[in-house]
Structure 1
Amino acid sequence: MQAITDAELDWRVYEVRSRREVAALLRQLFEKNTLIRLMIRGEADSCMTSLLQVDPEKGTIVLDRSVSREQNERIVSSGKLRCETSLDRIRIFFTIENIVETRFDGGTALRANFPASLVRLQRREFYRMSTPVTNPVYVTIPLPGEDDGGNAFLPLADISCGGIALLDNKGLLGTTIGQTFANCSIGLPDLGAITTSLQVRYALDVPMLNNKTNRRLGLQFVDMPGASLTAVQRYITRLERERNARQAGLA
């Protein structure tokens, strides 16, 4: 499996510019009272805050202020600051501008312009996205054999930038941990097919109510080309946006 560094990430893939999506994500941060790190002068000068109000109609957000008067003065005079937080184990970054002190709920807080965009940076080694059940994505896996062993066409269960899980109820691939299948093809909707090697990392037979079992296999990408990785990133981002839109009642 290829290691992925921050320098290799295409940040634009993770950027959310839709005002409705930005508002929906900020509301989730507000409702969960998520701590947000306000970077004033980098790591050396930062403070923890949280959202007190999200008002897309007025184009503003309200944040809790620092306990340090001097730090609040630096925040207000900065003009523009970066915020870092996480939501459901996904790192989120956004920038706020025109920060001023304001009265809020009987006290003093910080008001800023509504951020124009957010960056949601999922870490592939932790985060997986379920794929549609009603319109499944299929993986084509060449089966080994002395002659042409044929192909297995299996539906995805979830996907990350580190690998996939798929359903193999007929046991076409076996359960040998470490077995690698070369030249596998995944047909990503609207993005085309990508080709990669897949290595079996786990096999699990899940009992069902009808006394049958569903076999779930976890496979890791091996030596995936950069262009294919970018396509997977884009597909995951699209799935997340569709899910967030459903949760926000926009779809």
Structure 2
Amino acid sequence: MEARTDVNRLPGENSPYWIQYPLDIRQQFRLLCKHGERVRLWYGPSDSIVSVVLEVRDNGDLVFDVGPDARTNQRLLAAPNVLFTSMMDGVELKCALGPLREVMHEGLPAFASALPTRLHRLQRRDCHRMPIPVGHAVHGEIPSSPQAGPRPSDRSAQRIPIKLIDISLGGVAFELPSGTSHTWERGLRLPECRLQLDDMGVVSVDLEVRHIADIHTRSGTVRRKVGCRFTRLSAGAENLIQRYITRLELNRRNVG
């Protein structure tokens, strides 16, 4: 049973995990509906019912199943504010729904609410890395000569293209281009890197090399994978990366 003292508190305005685009919010609820995930509707300090999302209507309204107890259902309908919580693939979903109203769904009573203006989506596994699927145009540019220590960045330095392998809020991994002459090792700095996230935009970040590994392919060739952490990540870049990771996860679930 969830502790109300934890779930009752919505995260602050500055949390990077808020989803505020209606299409993205609607897609999250459609996935909950498609997979029959359990949700909780909270209406008091320690009072809630377990429900499921029955439908996401074309106008954006959400339809939830009612509980087995009529009196509890009436208390939920009378609550001026209802808090929604759920878990999907280890990701916590949370938002304020406002008041619910009674509707009919396939001839049976149900609850309905307007689509929330924002949804908090928190990945419990810190810096969960998402692999970049084949066909996604995710690439970037890094300095051709990494720095051995924290020195001022040189915006005019020559750059080389890279292909990203995975991405998280903590960093990225990329395939080292063939023909790179520089000796790569842990601790090297990559200032002013640019990452193109499909059609979502470009972010500028500073990276630090954390590990290097050789990948042996079936053809017998050896590719070098470089894993890096972000040492500079603006709030805007963090929000864009979070939205991109959310898109990747939604696409993965839709395919599955």
Instruction: Verify same fold: TM over 0.5.
Output: yes
Q: Which residues in structure 2 correspond to 1:80-95 (within 5 Å)?
A: 80-95=81-96
Cα distance in 2 for partners of 1:248, 1:96 equals 24
SS at 2:139 equivalent: coil
Q: SS state of the match for residue 117, structure 2?
A: coil
Query: Sequence identity, in percent?
Result: 18
Farther off after superposition, 79-88 or 9-18: 9-18
- Pick aligned residue for 1:49 from 51, 69, 74: 51
- Structure 2, unmatched stretches of 5+, are 1-9, 150-156
Of 235, 238, 254, the residue aligned with 1:233 is 238
Aligned to 1:217: 226
Q: Is the 8 A contact 1:124 1:162 kept in 2?
A: no
Larger displacement relative to structure 2 (104-113 or 32-41): 104-113
Question: How large is the Cα RMSD of the aligned pairs?
Answer: 3.7
> Hey, what's the Cα distance between the residues in 1 that align with 2:203 and 2:108?
54
Pair 1:165 & 2:173 matched:
yes
Which one-letter code corresponds to 1:186 in the other structure? Answer: C
8 Å CA contact 1:89–1:127 kept in 2: the answer is no
Partner of 2:117: 116
* In the alignment, structure 1 residue 14 sits paired with structure 2 residue 5: no
Report the 3-state secondary structure (helix = DSSP H, G, I; strand = E; otherwise coil) of the residue aligned with 2:36: coil
Deviations 1:58-85 (A, max 9, x none): x422112223434322211113212122
Structure 1: 5+ residue stretches without partners = 1-5
**Counterpart selection for 2:42 from 39, 42, 45:** 39
Amino acid at match of 2:204: A
Residues 100, 83 of structure 1: alpha-carbon distance in 2 compared, 3 angstrom cutoff: same
Could you say what secondary structure the match of 1:194 adopts? strand
Instruction: Please give the residue correspondences for 1:81-230 in structure 2 after superposition, counting only pairs within 5 Å.
Output: 81-123=82-124, 125-130=126-131, 134=137, 136-140=139-143, 142-144=146-148, 153=160, 154-168=162-176, 170=178, 172=182, 174=184, 179-182=186-189, 184-189=191-196, 190=201, 192-196=203-207, 198-201=208-211, 203-221=212-230, 224-225=231-232, 228-230=233-235
Distance change (3 Å), C-alpha of 1:105 and 1:8: closer
Structure 2 residue identity aligned to 1:23: R
Shift, 1:206, TM fit? 2.6
Cα 1:70/1:181, change in 2 over 3 Å? farther
- Does residue 23 in structure 1 map to residue 26 in structure 2? yes
Bigger Cα displacement from structure 2, 114-123 vs 208-217 = 114-123
Cα distance, 1:125 vs structure 2: 1.7
Q: Is the 8 A contact 2:194 2:205 kept in 1?
A: yes
Rounded Cα–Cα distance in structure 2 between residues aligned with 1:50 and 1:88? 16
